Amino acid sequence: MSRILILGSTGPSGTDIIRFALQDRADAKIVLFVRSPQKLPEEIKSNPSVNIVEGQLEDTAALEQALEGVDAIMSALGPSSSSHPKDAPIAQFYKKLLRMMRERGIKRLLVLGTASASDPVNDGFSLGYKAMVLGVYMFYWAGYNEFHTLGEILRGPEGKDIEWTMVRVPILTEEDKVGTVAGYIGDGKVGLRLARKAFARFMVDELGKREWVCKMPAVSNA
């Protein structure tokens, strides 16, 4: 039996990841590390395959408990308010998580990212993406800084030996779609909108397919 840890699971994208994971992996135990368990839907809280560990990102003891026996981690963590701190607490949390993964031999990490983290080798020019990133940079620095820093961390020494995938999302929507295209910015394929449900479908599929290990695909609606 496998054990999958899901982070950021109290937001709509994270909740969709839980639902697809429960649907596809009936034999798996799903562990949720959350600071606001009251936000989880009742049907998830009462599911016998779900194990909830409560804690803040800074709570290392609770994180240790959540990581016990875990084989893979999927995360939809990200800043969700305009008052989000500017010093990238989520990216700093990922640094600690990567260290703790390495100590425990946990290899696989799939995270939500954005185009604020660029792929210097594979990305090309896209006016739409350029405008979006510039807008975030100017009007939501805290959000820009989180994902930009996370990209640097994953590609740097802290991400070494970890089979990470950063799934870079554009504008997230509530559309009822699951089809996606994945590629790189400026490749003429990837668009500017992605249904949260489609993001979650992509994450859970990629966990099994492993097509984007140590890569930063930009993903949009098909």
Ligand X SMILES: NC(=O)c1ccc[n+]([C@@H]2O[C@H](COP(=O)([O-])OP(=O)(O)OC[C@H]3O[C@@H](n4cnc5c(N)ncnc54)[C@H](OP(=O)(O)O)[C@@H]3O)[C@@H](O)[C@H]2O)c1
Find the binder of ligand X among 44, 50, 63, 76 (CB under 6 A).
76
70 binds ligand X (CB under 6 A): no
Pick the stretch among 21-29, 34-42, 66-74, 210-218 that binds ligand X (CB under 6 A): 34-42
In total, the chain counts a number of residues equal to 222
Q: Which is nearer to ligand X, 26 or 185 (CB)?
A: 185
79 binds ligand X (CB under 6 A): yes
Instruction: For the CB of residue 196, give the shortest distance to ligand X in the complex, in Å.
Output: 5
**67 scored as a contact of ligand X (CB under 6 A):** no
> Residue 185 carries which DSSP code?
T
Could you give the angle at which helices 60-67 and 89-104 cross, rounded to 10 degrees?
Answer: 50
Q: Which is nearer to ligand X, 22 or 219 (CB)?
A: 219
DSSP characters over 59-112: -HHHHHHHHTT--EEEE-----STT--TT-HHHHHHHHHHHHHHHHT--EEEEE
State the nearest-atom distance from the C-beta of 211 to ligand X, in Å: 22
106 Cβ partners below 8 Å, 6+ apart? 67, 70, 71, 72, 73, 100
Q: Cα–Cα distance between 222 and 206 in angstroms, integer?
A: 16
Applying the rule CB under 6 A, the residues between 95 and 114 that interact with ligand X are: 112, 114
- Closest approach, Cβ 155 to ligand X, in A, equals 19
Q: Hey, what are 142's tokens?
A: 């805290």
Give the range of 40-48, 60-68, 74-82, 123-131 binding ligand X by CB under 6 A: 74-82
Q: Which residues bind ligand X (CB under 6 A)?
A: 8-14, 35-36, 39, 57, 76-80, 89, 112, 114, 143, 169, 171-172, 196
